[in-house]
Amino acid sequence: MIIREDNDQEIEEIKNVVKKAFENAEHSDGSEHLLVEALRSSENFIKKLSLVAVEDNIIIGYILFTKIKIGKDEELALAPLAVLPEFQRKGVGKALIKEGHKIAKEFGYHFSVVLGSENYYPKFGYSAASKWDIKAPFEVDDKNYMAKKLCNGAYKVCGTVEYAKEFGF
């Protein structure tokens, strides 16, 4: 499996991976693939943090980190993370997250936030965002709104997250 930056010619394949990954998800409205398309046109899009997992020349997973504001600070949101159903639970998501975190640190980002499963994301160092005084701009259970400090020298951030307008929050 290869983890690499996506290219613009792959957008339809990426949208298909995202659509299939969320088809039977418990907390999905089925529009995640449309969000990916919108975010790619956003000023919050970071090309180097739009990554695909490829096996046998087929995209099997995708992750996207976009710019957010936490108070006055620019940080990242992880959304979405998508893996084709037949490749789930095989380390694809883990590899995408680890590579994304590595690149984010290289770019000087200090925090990443995610809205997701309290059983999955803590494996990668995410914990309740409230621990960092980071608040969601919507009502959400504390256990599902998480943040990860990406580097040891990270400064203190606090405030309500301001997402790209494409998220619709």
Number of other CB atoms surrounding residue 47 within 10 Å: 10
The residues near 107 (Cβ < 8 Å, ≥ 6 apart) are 46, 48, 49
- How many domains are there within the chain? 1
Amino acid making up residue 21: A
Q: Please say if the pLDDT value at position 138 is more than 90.
A: yes
Structure tokens at 159: 């405030």
Q: Please say if the pLDDT value at position 144 is more than 90.
A: yes
pLDDT digits (tens, 9 = 90+) for 38-54: 999 999 999 999 999 99
pTM for this predicted structure: 0.94
pLDDT score of 90: 97
pLDDT score of 24: 75
pLDDT score of 28: 63
| Cα-based distances in Å from 3 to 25, 61, 121, 147, 152 | 24, 9, 19, 23, 25
Q: Please say if the pLDDT value at position 131 is more than 70.
A: yes
Task: Name the pLDDT band for 154 (thresholds 50, 70, 90).
Answer: low
pLDDT digits (tens, 9 = 90+) for 74-124: 999 999 999 999 999 999 999 999 999 999 999 999 999 999 999 999 999
pLDDT score of 155: 73
Amino acid making up residue 157: V
The domain containing residue 67 runs over which residues? 2-167
Name the average pLDDT for the chain. Answer: 94
Burial (CB count <10 Å: 0-12, 13-18, 19+), residue 99:
middle
We report the CATH number of the domain holding residue 50 as: 3.40.630.30
Number of other CB atoms surrounding residue 30 within 10 Å: 10
